[in-house]
Structure 1
Amino acid sequence: MNKPAIAIIEDEIPAARLLHSMIARLRPEWDITVIPGSVEEATEWFSTHPHPDLLFLDIQLADGNSFDFLSAAHPSSTIIFTTAYDQYAVRAFTVNSIDYILKPIDEQRLQEAIDKYEHLQQCSNPRPDDYLATLLDALQSKEKQYRTRFLIYRADRFWSLQVSDIAYFYSENKMTFAVTRNNQEHVLDLSLNKLSEQLDPDRFFRANRQIILCIDAIDHAEPYFNGKISVTVRPPYKSKITISEEKLAAFKRWLNF
């Protein structure tokens, strides 16, 4: 079998570097390219370069998702999805793509996906004619799925931070922080606007421009000035959290859901 051309589309640079190093370690002879992890830039790249044989594609990209990219770029590549969403139509991906890999990526799981790709390349029809259409249909799952974990990088180490362990997110000096129930802080490479799209609205509420609250972190709420209310959370937040009068009805509905 000829040496395949490999590409990685991943919106988190540390995750892209980690995946590149893992693939290079398992298949040092492969030619691996890291493509910018946005729909716009990745689509532009595919319009000006030969399509790789195998594409490791993150489901959630910086400015959209893999559905947007596939619809625009029409890649001829075989696809292995990478995802932090452990319920994101994974059964359909297993059937209709080569495979999917959950983040943080385990090297043994990556090895299995590569082995599966190499085995299928020996088959007479490794990529069905309706391959792309079937993938697009799978990605249009009617049931919205939400983020369940984050890949955290610090001091040359990676680990997984579970969303279920987070009490609230806040923004300060153009940086986003996740605060866990045991009062540990982690920097995230996502804006609060982006997080609002990825978090389960039954569990998380955008209180104001600075903070997103988890329902389990709320201790109590009480009246404040000018029709606002003040919210106290566990662990304590360093500033007063207020809900505006305009958001008050939505906040009450959320608490009472």
Structure 2
Amino acid sequence: MSKLSAVIIEDEVPAARLLCAMVMRLRPEWTVTVLPGSVEDAVEWFSENKHPDILFLDIQLADGNSFDFLSAAQPSSVIIFTTAYDQYAVRAFSVNSIDYILKPVDEQRLSEAIAKYEALLDGSRWRPDDYMDTLLDTLQNKEKRYRNRFLISRPDRFWSLQVADIAYFYSENKVSFAVTKTGQEYVIDLSLNKLMEQLDPARFFRANRQMIVGIDSVVHAQPYFNGKITVTVQPPFKAKITVSEEKQTAFKLWLNF
């Protein structure tokens, strides 16, 4: 793959630095520029500079959201969204020209998104003329169907587990578990990454790599060292649940949404 240009627009400095380091590690031949995470600054930069080949765009910016920026700047770049809290219900887009990654960014997931972008450059599916119109239409589409039940199988029977009955999800030894509000545990045949793509973000939050908490399960949260937050849930979890400093703002917004 030839040398390409990438821009990162992210309003959290630590997250921007981390994403930049990951991109440069995965594609050292690329030119990567990090912009301030505000709509005003980003629009000004795009009006004065050549648009990059690929844009890593945070959905929630310091003074607005990605839709405000896209409408004003009309970037010609391919967009990969990054989001800590999918507040605007960005879907797993049906057009294969865009992708989105939940924060904190997992390097393997980032690598997959970049590979998906590079595959577009080699094929015939890339339609730059109608790309931005399609993207804006997708972002404005507020309709999103979220999963509301899981099929639970046993050797002798199977039944539906309602999402409304689940307090939280956790991962252990690469196996995902759902814990109900009554404390029962069930194996779920989906990774936490896949679960977050299917769960209502107003109801569930990815606290860390091992944990997705439900809004009804949160008893309280309190400050922890290194800027982290600890979360107490009901029914109690067997380990300490922490939210990183980078996700602290998103977590507070989620609790108050």
Determine if the TM-score, normalized by the shorter chain, exceeds 0.5: yes
- The structure, 1 or 2, with the larger RCO (C-alpha pairs under 8 Å, 6+ apart) is 2
Could you list the per-position Cα deviations for residues 9-64 of structure 1 after superposition, in whole angstroms to 9, with x for gaps in the alignment?
11111111111111111111111011111111111111111110000111111111
Q: CA deviation at 1:104?
A: 1.7
Instruction: Tell me what 1:36 maps to.
Output: 36
Question: In the superposition, relative to structure 1, how do residues 15 and 113 fare at CA in structure 2: closer, same or farther (>3 Å)?
Answer: same
Comparing 127-136 and 111-120, the one that deviates more = 127-136
Using the alignment, how far apart are the partners of 2:214 and 2:10 within structure 1?
20
Question: In the superposition, relative to structure 1, how do residues 51 and 160 fare at CA in structure 2: closer, same or farther (>3 Å)?
Answer: farther
Sequence identity (%):
55
**Contact 1:5–1:32 (8 Å) recurs in 2:** yes
Instruction: Tell me what 1:76 maps to.
Output: 76
Within 5 Å, which residues of 2 pair with 1:123-162? Answer: 123-124=123-124, 126-143=126-143, 146=202, 148-149=204-205, 162=213
Residue 118 in structure 1 maps to residue 121 in structure 2: no
User: Of the two, which has the highest radius of gyration?
Assistant: 1
**Contact 2:76–2:128 (8 Å) recurs in 1:** no
Question: In the superposition, relative to structure 1, how do residues 132 and 29 fare at CA in structure 2: closer, same or farther (>3 Å)?
Answer: same
RMSD: 3.6
**Contact 1:96–1:131 (8 Å) recurs in 2:** no
Q: CA deviation at 1:187?
A: 7.9
Could you list the per-position Cα deviations for residues 148-167 of structure 1 after superposition, in whole angstroms to 9, with x for gaps in the alignment?
54778xxxxx9978574654
Using the alignment, how far apart are the partners of 1:68 and 1:147 within structure 2?
25
Tell me which amino acid in the other structure corresponds to 1:133.
Answer: D
Q: CA deviation at 1:84?
A: 2.3
Tell me which amino acid in the other structure corresponds to 1:99.
Answer: D
Could you list the per-position Cα deviations for residues 218-249 of structure 1 after superposition, in whole angstroms to 9, with x for gaps in the alignment?
xxxxxxxxxxxxxxxxxxxxxxxxxxxxxxxx
Residue 89 in structure 1 maps to residue 144 in structure 2: no
Could you list the per-position Cα deviations for residues 105-162 of structure 1 after superposition, in whole angstroms to 9, with x for gaps in the alignment?
111111111111111112245234211111111111325954854778xxxxx99785
Which stretches in structure 1 are left out of the alignment for 5+ residues? 153-157, 206-257
Within 5 Å, which residues of 2 pair with 1:210-229? Answer: none
Question: In the superposition, relative to structure 1, how do residues 43 and 163 fare at CA in structure 2: closer, same or farther (>3 Å)?
Answer: farther
Q: Normalised by the size of structure 1, how large is the TM-score?
A: 0.60
**Contact 2:39–2:65 (8 Å) recurs in 1:** yes
**Contact 2:205–2:251 (8 Å) recurs in 1:** no
Using the alignment, how far apart are the partners of 1:163 and 1:11 within structure 2?
26
**Contact 1:59–1:83 (8 Å) recurs in 2:** yes
Tell me which amino acid in the other structure corresponds to 1:48.
Answer: E
Q: Normalised by the size of structure 2, how large is the TM-score?
A: 0.60
Question: In the superposition, relative to structure 1, how do residues 137 and 112 fare at CA in structure 2: closer, same or farther (>3 Å)?
Answer: same
Which stretches in structure 2 are left out of the alignment for 5+ residues? 145-200, 234-239
Residue 199 in structure 1 maps to residue 254 in structure 2: yes
Q: CA deviation at 1:199?
A: 2.9
Tell me which amino acid in the other structure corresponds to 2:129.
Answer: D
Structure 2 counterpart SS, 1:129:
helix
Using the alignment, how far apart are the partners of 1:13 and 1:123 within structure 2?
35
